[in-house]
Amino acid sequence: MNQDKHSPIQVIDRLAALLDALAAQDGGASLKILSAETGLHPSTAFRILAALIQHGFVARDETGLYLLGPHLLQLAAKVRVGLDVRALARPEMEWLRDQVGETVNLTVRQGDEMVYVERVTPNRMMRVEQLIGSRAPLHVTAVGKLMLGEAGAAATRDYAKRTRLPAYTANTRHDIKALLEDIGICSARGYALDNEEAELGVGCIGALIRDATGAAVAGLSVSAPMERRQLAWVTLVQEAARRVSARLGFAE
């Protein structure tokens, strides 16, 4: 991830090298190992590591080996997804749009909703379109249902309790049992459909995008008027999602 070895501040180059060396270890690492891997003098490495320990970026186990520290988890929890995903997904979204001739959306989960963060549209007038920034409840979108599958049954029940699963159309799954069953099917297949559940006349096919940790960080979907939607697009949606995931470092 060191795109350029030399930033304006040398210490930061050095601490980045130390953190990367730690990330590359299977377990903990000794000072001597880290010093050798980064090319830093032992006393320099020792002191930088001590500073990183102070701030929780690095920790030491009971045998004295260095490990990545818990503060990284807390900071990572605050990293906004969608930042890199959008740029990385754009080419694949355009490819997918060109294959199916329909609108392609990129969404991220925020709490109990999916947020539309990117969109590419076909060159036709009659199309489904969501404004970037608009939101949709999880249970009525293809990708939202997949996200609930990722979160598990307990989290889905909590979501249902919180939101009461409002119905948007006669097709909306507003019964927890039916929703859990649908989610189970979608999760097992690796894609989900929205059959006029959010809005009458609108059909959708969605798949998840995963990052280097395997976490589902975004959703990719094709939205079309229901009469134009083709199930043959499923493999294309999955292929585009797979490519974006690979770009994010996901390894199947």
Query: Interface residues with DNA (CB under 7 A)?
Result: 8-12, 14, 30-32, 35, 40-44, 46-48, 50, 64
CB of 39 to a copy of itself, least distance (A): 17
User: Which partner in a copy of itself, DNA, none is near 64 (CB below 5 to 8 A by kind)?
Assistant: DNA
Phi, psi values for residue 4, rounded to 5° = -135, 135
Residue 16 binds which entry of DNA, a copy of itself, none, with Cβ cut-offs from 5 to 8 Å by kind? a copy of itself
* Amino acid in the structure at residue 80: R
Which amino acid, residue 185?
Answer: I
Q: Is residue 153 a contact point for a copy of itself (CB under 8 A)?
A: yes
Which residues, 114 to 143, sit near a copy of itself by CB under 8 A? none
From DNA, a copy of itself, none, interface partner of 166 (C-beta below 5 to 8 A by class): none
Which is closer to a copy of itself, CB of 22 or CB of 106?
Answer: 22
Token pair recorded at residue 217:
């960080």
Among residues 8 and 133, whose Cβ is nearest to DNA?
A: 8
Q: Is 200 in the site for a copy of itself (CB under 8 A)?
A: no
Using an 8 Å Cβ cutoff, are 93 and 104 in contact? yes
Q: Which does 31 bind (CB under 5 to 8 A by kind): DNA, a copy of itself, none?
A: DNA
d(CA 115, CA 109): 6
Can you tell me the distance from the alpha carbon of 103 to that of 163, in angstroms, rounded to the nearest whole number? Answer: 28
What is the chain's alpha carbon radius of gyration, rounded to the nearest angstrom?
22
Measured from the CB atom, the residue of 42 and 214 that comes closer to DNA is 42
Q: Which of DNA, a copy of itself, none does residue 225 bind (CB under 5 to 8 Å by kind)?
A: none
Burial class for 104, CB neighbours closer than 10 Å (0-12, 13-18, 19+): buried
Question: Minimum CB separation from DNA for residue 32, in Å?
Answer: 4
Which of 189, 101, 182 lies closest to 141 in space, CA to CA?
182
The Cα 7–Cα 238 span in angstroms is 39
Positive/negative CA dihedral, 92, 96, 98, 104: negative
Is the CB of residue 76 less than 8 Å from the CB of residue 195? no
132 binds, among DNA, a copy of itself, none (CB under 5 to 8 A by kind): none
Per the CB < 8 A criterion, the answer to whether 220 and 93 are in contact is: yes
What is the footprint of a copy of itself within residues 62-81 (CB under 8 A)? 67-80
The residues binding a copy of itself (CB under 8 A) are 1-4, 7-9, 11-13, 15-16, 19, 22-23, 27, 47-48, 50-52, 54-57, 59, 61, 67-80, 83-84, 149-154, 157, 180, 183-184, 187-188, 190, 211-213, 249
